[in-house]
Amino acid sequence: MELNGEREEDNYSEGDEEDQESEPCPCLFCKSEQSSAAATLDHCREEHLVDLPRIATQLHYDHYSCIKLINYIRKQVCCS
Ligand SMILES: [Zn+2]
């Protein structure tokens, strides 16, 4: 049973990318950084002609999964 409580400390585990949408997100293809993952998607489409949401749609990803995809790719690209 889960209520909408305020307990958040237990939710943070490694590899769990729940709340990334509002964080600054570097572009996957250049050094620029956008204010959010969604903005980075727009940037990629306009600057690099890579329409990730469209690709995601073809893969039947929803918007949220797409952002998780971005974060995943980002981790592969910038080996932090
Ligand atoms: Zn870029």
Annotated domain spans of the chain: 23-77
Q: How far apart are CA 25 and CA 72, in angstroms?
A: 12
- What's the gap in Å between 59 CA and the centre of ligand 1? 22
Q: How many residues does the chain have?
A: 80
Determine the pLDDT at residue 43.
93
Task: Count Cβ neighbours within 10 Å for each residue of 23-50 and write b for 16 or more, e otherwise.
Answer: eebbbbeeeeebeebbebbebbeeeeee
User: Which range scores top for mean pLDDT: 10-14, 36-40, 57-61, 65-69?
Assistant: 36-40
- What's the gap in Å between 13 CA and the centre of ligand 1? 30
Task: Give the pLDDT mean for 47-57.
Answer: 83
Q: 0.75 cut: is pTM over it?
A: no
At residue 79, does pLDDT exceed 90?
Answer: no
- What's the gap in Å between 33 CA and the centre of ligand 1? 8
Q: How far apart are CA 48 and CA 30, in angstroms?
A: 9
